[in-house]
Structure 1
Amino acid sequence: MKIYKIIFFLASVSIITNCKKKTAPPKEKEQKKVEVIDQSSMDQPPSELVSVDYGAKGYLKKYYEIPHIQEFYEWQDMKYQIWEPKKFPEDLSVLSYDELRLLRNEIYARNGHLFDDAFLRGHFNRSKWYMPIFDVDDFEVILSEEEQELISKIKEEEEKRKELKTITDKNRLELYNADLIVNKKQFKEIPQKVQNDFSNQNFSILEANRSMPFYTYDENAYEYIPHYITTDLYLFILHKYFSTSLEKLDENFMYVQLKTILEEASYKLSALAKSEDNKNLKSSLEWAQMYTATAQYAMGEKKYVVPDDYALEFDSEKEAINLIQGKPSFIPNILVNYKELKPRGHYTKSDTLKKYFKGFKWISLNGINIKNKKELKGLITMAYAIKSDQNLYEKYQQYVSIIEKLAGQEDNLSMSNLIQALGDTNLEETLSDTNVNKIITYLDGFDKERVKRVFGKEFRNEEKEIKRLFFLSSTYSITGEIFSRLVHVDDLNSKRPFPNGLDLPAVFNNKTAEEILFNEYKYGDKWSEFNERLSSLQEQFYKFEDWDNNYGYKGVQTALQATSEDDRYPDYMKTNAYNRKELSTALASWAHIKHDLILYQEKPFAAESGQGGGPEPPQHYSYVEPNLRFWDTALELVKWLENISKFDSTFASELKEIKDLGEKLRLVAYQQVEGKTVSSEIYDELHHVGGTIEYILFGLLETDHLSEREKSMALIADVYSYKRSNLNVAVGHADDIYVIVPINGEYYISRGSIFSYHEFIGEIFDDDQWKSKVKKGNIPDRPKWIQPIINDNIKGLEGQLEFRVGG
């Protein structure tokens, strides 16, 4: 039996041999000394043990007398000494793969090697005997024959284990062999359920309730847990950029522009009313003045012109607007409820934004019946006032064009169509019965509405047949049309009164979404037309190519790419469980889009009746979620945002930082899939990716700290209404995802952050109300299709490494 001069200590990590440049040891007395744990008394595995007499190596002792090394270890209350004999199993087959790797690497650790690998260094730092030599250019580890022989024996055993690098699951997917994970001991404990997830699907999601996604990466950076940089993290900062940019645009331009348009229209109408030529047009002019005054009031304006004949009606509208409830009295419409005037999204952040929301929403709710000549003549008068003033008309056109670039084209008849119908005649001729009839015929010929109103068969009100025209129309959205066509309402016999967020990816042929809708929700069984309607929509959108038209489209395309499939992707991304994770990511991203565009897009509805000294820090690894199509599309979205930023370049530097980060993440994703080596420089740059995201966010918020409101990422949007209830889609606090990833030929547990997606039916909430519910944990359950892969009763994995000799 051979006696090997080595000490056994259970753990796992690969060896990286390069040392880094010299730095001065810490001298500040107030620095806290790190308690070093000696775990050498850990129970040995049941096997015949080999006695070991490690002894002292003379060549090492002289290095501990070098001034900077001696000073550093004295500061740590550590000194070189001869350790007592230890034991390790003679039969190496009783050790796990990670234990084998640590046994091999401990030979180098005992010989003063400074590991660049963060796990290896952090693990050995927990033992008081580990005193690596640093900042000595000519230092080399010298191994004895016995040590070299043992290393060869261990490597031979490791290679046997690695013959089974992947495990084939029942779906013929090649998953990483979880038995080969090298950094399990990076964590104090890995619950059995999480270990089972690693074996069965290579990842596990834990409900972490992190109020910001970058907090996970900050913790990873501190504990040197490998990053799993998710599409969710990048989507978070992309959405924050757009939301903040839109907030600026709305507050500094769109609000001012709409306010100016209404003011100038009011002045123009007053001038027209005073003209002797228009005395017989009083009724239409006063109606237009009433409309303008009510819109101005909804925007919080104090100066407006209300005709005497409309005083009582104006008071009635004012009361409903102030209470944010009730129905309109000025332009009757049984389908309009002033609860929709409740500011939400980012429009609750300032008084100006609140006023802008209420003003625009009032206008987009109150469309006139084109067959009601009083209402039509009134709006024709407004159209005439705008068109006859070139400066005012240009402001109106500019305002509408920006909305269309942001949120899509108007989905209803609007002032734009009405202006097109006007000739070059004076106001009296324009309002003649003959001309008005021509205009009605012209407008009635349009079939502009794509987000169709859904009515139950018992809906008897005339509103079902009314075609309405709006001063400013809400815009078309892809999901608006999808939702309006995938619902069935018939009072108690309704087959599908509410849509499902999964309808969106299903229409774009996501097979997992389809399977859930049919096999778990059973919509095909409950409603015989569901399959036919879904197939029709799939055919319609199969070759959709207008993605660059507006942010609403481009954002949806990017969100959907989070669910993309590609043969190049690792097989864990092809599991049903990971497909569900990707669906959650995509729908959470879509929820952000609906949240940001909540004012402009039409909502479909249905009606029924560190330390500063010692060695350089170790290498911290990152693995980018290798969704190549997503990263390609995300950078296309960034380019699109660069073009739209010409309207307001306030956050140009932040957008450049987002672009630079995206390009870096895309590069790494491709390198991973192609089997190329990621440089240490890139790893160093990604080490503090959480801090990078946080820094960009501070720039967008124009602050150096997060306000109480901004400390939570939670947000909510109502996307469909039926019977005074709303389908809400929301994002809560972030979950943690742990994923087995290949790095430098070994398998590591990495950690990342993902969105938590919620979808439920209820009242309208604003962000503050939702954030409060999230903070208290008083929120509805997640959709049932995502629940099976969320471990909501397991605490996050806690790191246990020590970094006393590194940053």
Structure 2
Amino acid sequence: MGYGKSGREYLIGFILVLLLIVATSSGCSGTKSLEAASIDTTFNRYEEYPVQIKPAVESYSVEPDLGNITNKDMFKLSPAAKNLLIENGFVVVPNKYEKEFFSLYEKNRYKPVPLFVTTDSVLHNYHLFFDHLLRVVETEKLAMELKELNKAMLYQAQKQYKDLQGTVWENAARRNIGFFAVACKLMDPDASTPPMVKNEVEKELTLIQNHQGIVVSPLMNMGGNDDPAGAFQEDYSQYVPRGHYDKTDLLKAYFKSMMWCGRLNFRLKNEDETKSALLITLALDKGDNRRMWDNIYATTNFFVGKSDDISYSQFRETIDKTYGINADLQTVVTSPDKWNAFLEAAGKLEPPSINSIPVNAGTSQDEREKEIKGFRFMGQRFTIDASVFQRLVYREVGENSRGDKRMLPRGMDIPAAMGSAEAYAILQSMGETDYRNYPENMDKMKTYINGVSEKTWTQNLYWNWLYALMPLIQEKPEGYPSFMRNSAWARKELNTYLGSWTELKHDTILYAKQVYAECGDGGEQVDDRGYVEPNPDVYARLASLVKMTRDGLQARELLNERDKESLERMEVLILSLKTIAEKELSNTPLTDEEYELIRSYGGQLEHFWIDALRDEGVGHRSAASDRPAALVGDVATSPNGQVLEEATGRVFDIYAVVPVDGKLRIAVGGVYSYYEFPWPLNDRLTDTRWHKMLESGQAPLLPEWTRTFIAE
């Protein structure tokens, strides 16, 4: 098989991913499995609700004059929208004013028209609570824990420095003082800075404050560097608080301090940086430091996943093997003859699967691994979608026939790798599959993903969320409603997938590792019985995800009673939608109570929306204009000065022709609007900026592939 010039490089990278997955899913020894051993397994319990259906909806079509639609006179559609409705059985119409899902459903309830409960609205509801729960845990628990941990580690670093002055360990100890001094200042601007690192700390803080971009780190390169070409560079544009982290001063501080702790890489290729990493490991063993570190790591592991980098567990084990069990600073310093053995043992630890730092594209494979392989104090997390991105950008894929390099991925890469033929066809039409090795790499990722076990998919909330989305990309068989059995609907479901995935990336932007390419009143009584989008497998997995969220946080005493009750109600609602969807597919009549649930759906969404935003002071629906559903997040970085932004905008209307009691009617619901566009690296977008762009009409165009189902 011909792999081209980068074939060997791809195979090495791909084997590393497979090794990581095997370690994660089977529990074999290795970097990631050691991390798993320190996590309470009861934190991650998952029970999937079964789905048993035999779809039996008779096929139907829409007459050209809508003559077989019982309520066609309720709606005024443009000629273009009407044509798509006739052709596909549904159409999505842009809405310039609707900012939240619940308000769209409430508005249509009181017209009244039949409501179409969409998977988009249910998934968005979970996003609201996921973001709320993470925000509350960070505000009430993790921020204070990180502040105390930073202070305690700074204290230990200063003690080590005092003991190591005049030795070959002095500079490494001084670097650690600076590292934790920066972390402390980011959490608390009034924190004092030890005089021996004042200059470097002030330079770092200035670079962070100015979001300087990719430049050499003054602190990491303190004391000189034997290899000036190998000086450590950091991307300071990453320190713009975004996602939910721009809402309060505390969350802004936590974001920047945690980003610092997660990104700074003590590279194993540099002996002095490796000494710093070893000293940090020893300092973590002192006092309550390990307990505080575990509290932060285990909690964020439940939300997002395990670190992709070497951290405490691997270094502690390597120290014990080299210097003896429970070896301390005195033992290490007085055993210089064992240092080379330690370096050799550390060199055998697994490298990260995702490169999250700037690396010159001309660097050889061996040098690349040395550049990215290192210790991180609170390393950012491995996610499967970032791994997919990593295998599908330069230099894992080569140039296309025009000599262009694929410096940024596409969101569509993710559902394509999950197995969506429609997603891959869209990528082909965009020319994205023309890059050398792209088809081969995509095939390998699809093969791997197809073999991932349920246990691996449900190891944490992040992976579990992706698992809940997977039924969206499965082709709907005979027996499903006709509007769901065409390529336009397959694209609408990709739009749903990418809208929800964008919310996931937005909510976890601090923790998930980012890929770097190299280089009112009721009206007259009418029959307004509605319809639930029949995606029972999505509802089943989402209900299981809600249950896992509740049980996992409750097990760690991180869930208050009100949020517990809200998650219980959410689970009941989703299971009710699952039951309705199963009935619709099997032609079982709905009860009056089930039709009433559909009618009242907007009110239920409103309740969850208010509950999810109450920690931000929201107490009434009138705040919807100030807290719109629209959001933005950058998911990949190119060394040519751009990032890939993924965003959702206004809630669009969907009109679907659905069967009720053997007759066809139009039902109305809400769906995501989805955007993807490159943006300057030094100007990473926040939600606030994005909202202003939407208000002023400066948002980019919707993706070309959505034209098959969206019409003005």
Tell me if 1:696 matches 2:600: no
Whichever residue aligns with residue 583 of structure 1, its letter is L
Tell me if 1:678 matches 2:678: no
Structure number with the higher helix fraction is 2
Contact 2:462 2:504 (8 Å CA) reproduced: yes
Query: How much does 1:235 deviate?
Result: 0.6
Task: Name the larger-Rg structure.
Answer: 1
Pick one of 541, 552, 561 that aligns with 1:644.
552
Cα gap change, 1:516/1:456 in structure 2, threshold over 3 Å: closer, same or farther? farther
Pick one of 401, 420, 427 that aligns with 1:517.
427
Cα gap change, 1:456/1:514 in structure 2, threshold over 3 Å: closer, same or farther? farther
Cα gap change, 1:565/1:698 in structure 2, threshold over 3 Å: closer, same or farther? same
Map of 1:330 onto structure 2: 219
Map of 2:691 onto structure 1: 771
Map of 1:413-492 to 2, 5 A cutoff?
413-423=310-320, 424-431=326-333, 432-452=335-355, 458-459=362-363, 465-466=370-371, 467-489=373-395
Structure 1 window deviating more from structure 2 (588-597 vs 360-369): it is: 360-369
State the alpha-carbon separation in 2 of the partners of residues 698 and 325 from structure 1.
38
Cα gap change, 1:710/1:666 in structure 2, threshold over 3 Å: closer, same or farther? farther
State the alpha-carbon separation in 1 of the partners of residues 63 and 387 from structure 2.
39
**SS in structure 2 opposite 1:790?**
coil
Cα gap change, 1:671/1:459 in structure 2, threshold over 3 Å: closer, same or farther? same
Pick one of 704, 709, 724 that aligns with 2:641.
724
Superimposed CA distance per residue, residues 14-70 of structure 1 (whole angstroms, 9 cap, x where no aligned partner): xxxxxxxxxxxxxxxxxxxxxxxxxxxxxxxxxxxxxxxxxxxxxxxxxxxxxxxxx
State the alpha-carbon separation in 2 of the partners of residues 358 and 527 from structure 1.
36
**SS in structure 1 opposite 2:694?**
helix
Map of 1:711 onto structure 2: 627
Tell me if 1:206 matches 2:110: no
State the alpha-carbon separation in 2 of the partners of residues 503 and 175 from structure 1.
37
State the alpha-carbon separation in 1 of the partners of residues 77 and 327 from structure 2.
80
Map of 1:62-211 to 2, 5 A cutoff?
178-187=66-75, 189-209=76-96, 210-211=98-99
State the alpha-carbon separation in 2 of the partners of residues 433 and 766 from structure 1.
49
Query: How much does 1:771 deviate?
Result: 1.1
**SS in structure 1 opposite 2:475?**
coil
Query: How much does 1:611 deviate?
Result: 5.6
Whichever residue aligns with residue 87 of structure 2, its letter is N
Map of 1:562 onto structure 2: 472
State the alpha-carbon separation in 2 of the partners of residues 242 and 176 from structure 1.
44
Cα gap change, 1:692/1:460 in structure 2, threshold over 3 Å: closer, same or farther? same
Contact 1:561 1:633 (8 Å CA) reproduced: no
Map of 1:236-635 to 2, 5 A cutoff?
236-273=124-161, 280=167, 282-308=170-196, 310-326=197-213, 327=215, 328-332=217-221, 335-389=233-287, 391-423=288-320, 424-431=326-333, 432-452=335-355, 458-459=362-363, 465-466=370-371, 467-489=373-395, 493-518=403-428, 520-524=429-433, 526-545=434-453, 546-567=456-477, 568-608=479-519, 620-635=528-543
Pick one of 558, 565, 578 that aligns with 1:653.
565
**SS in structure 1 opposite 2:179?**
helix
Cα gap change, 1:325/1:371 in structure 2, threshold over 3 Å: closer, same or farther? same
Cα gap change, 1:222/1:709 in structure 2, threshold over 3 Å: closer, same or farther? closer
Query: How much does 1:644 deviate?
Result: 2.5
Contact 1:482 1:504 (8 Å CA) reproduced: yes
Query: How much does 1:176 deviate?
Result: 11
Query: How much does 1:305 deviate?
Result: 4.4
Whichever residue aligns with residue 737 of structure 1, its letter is I
**SS in structure 2 opposite 1:412?**
coil
Query: How much does 1:553 deviate?
Result: 0.4
Cα gap change, 1:611/1:237 in structure 2, threshold over 3 Å: closer, same or farther? closer
Structure 1 window deviating more from structure 2 (586-595 vs 392-401): it is: 392-401
Contact 2:267 2:370 (8 Å CA) reproduced: no
Cα gap change, 1:566/1:330 in structure 2, threshold over 3 Å: closer, same or farther? same
Whichever residue aligns with residue 213 of structure 1, its letter is F
Cα gap change, 1:670/1:460 in structure 2, threshold over 3 Å: closer, same or farther? closer
Cα gap change, 1:456/1:538 in structure 2, threshold over 3 Å: closer, same or farther? farther
Query: How much does 1:665 deviate?
Result: 0.9
Contact 2:383 2:513 (8 Å CA) reproduced: yes
Whichever residue aligns with residue 370 of structure 2, its letter is E
Query: How much does 1:343 deviate?
Result: 0.5
Query: How much does 1:448 deviate?
Result: 3.7
**SS in structure 2 opposite 1:422?**
helix
State the alpha-carbon separation in 2 of the partners of residues 711 and 292 from structure 1.
35
State the alpha-carbon separation in 2 of the partners of residues 294 and 300 from structure 1.
10
Pick one of 649, 652, 659 that aligns with 1:735.
652
Q: Percent identity?
A: 24
Cα gap change, 1:177/1:257 in structure 2, threshold over 3 Å: closer, same or farther? farther
Unaligned 5+ runs, structure 1:
1-164, 169-173, 793-807
Map of 2:707 onto structure 1: 787
**SS in structure 2 opposite 1:479?**
helix
Query: How much does 1:561 deviate?
Result: 2.4
State the alpha-carbon separation in 1 of the partners of residues 170 and 155 from structure 2.
15
**SS in structure 2 opposite 1:549?**
coil
Contact 1:178 1:202 (8 Å CA) reproduced: no
Cα gap change, 1:175/1:606 in structure 2, threshold over 3 Å: closer, same or farther? farther
Cα gap change, 1:750/1:611 in structure 2, threshold over 3 Å: closer, same or farther? closer
Superimposed CA distance per residue, residues 306-350 of structure 1 (whole angstroms, 9 cap, x where no aligned partner): 242x22222211211222215321114554220111100000010
**SS in structure 2 opposite 1:223?**
coil
Whichever residue aligns with residue 199 of structure 1, its letter is I
State the alpha-carbon separation in 1 of the partners of residues 144 and 243 from structure 2.
19
Whichever residue aligns with residue 426 of structure 1, its letter is D
Query: How much does 1:208 deviate?
Result: 0.9
Superimposed CA distance per residue, residues 129-148 of structure 1 (whole angstroms, 9 cap, x where no aligned partner): xxxxxxxxxxxxxxxxxxxx
State the alpha-carbon separation in 2 of the partners of residues 576 and 611 from structure 1.
39
**SS in structure 2 opposite 1:726?**
strand
Contact 2:143 2:250 (8 Å CA) reproduced: yes
- TM-score normalised by L of structure 2: 0.81
Query: How much does 1:547 deviate?
Result: 1.1
Superimposed CA distance per residue, residues 190-234 of structure 1 (whole angstroms, 9 cap, x where no aligned partner): 333233222211001100131112222112210121001000000
Contact 1:178 1:198 (8 Å CA) reproduced: no
Pick one of 661, 666, 676 that aligns with 1:749.
666
Map of 1:664 onto structure 2: 576
Superimposed CA distance per residue, residues 348-376 of structure 1 (whole angstroms, 9 cap, x where no aligned partner): 01000000110011122211122322222
State the alpha-carbon separation in 2 of the partners of residues 325 and 673 from structure 1.
55
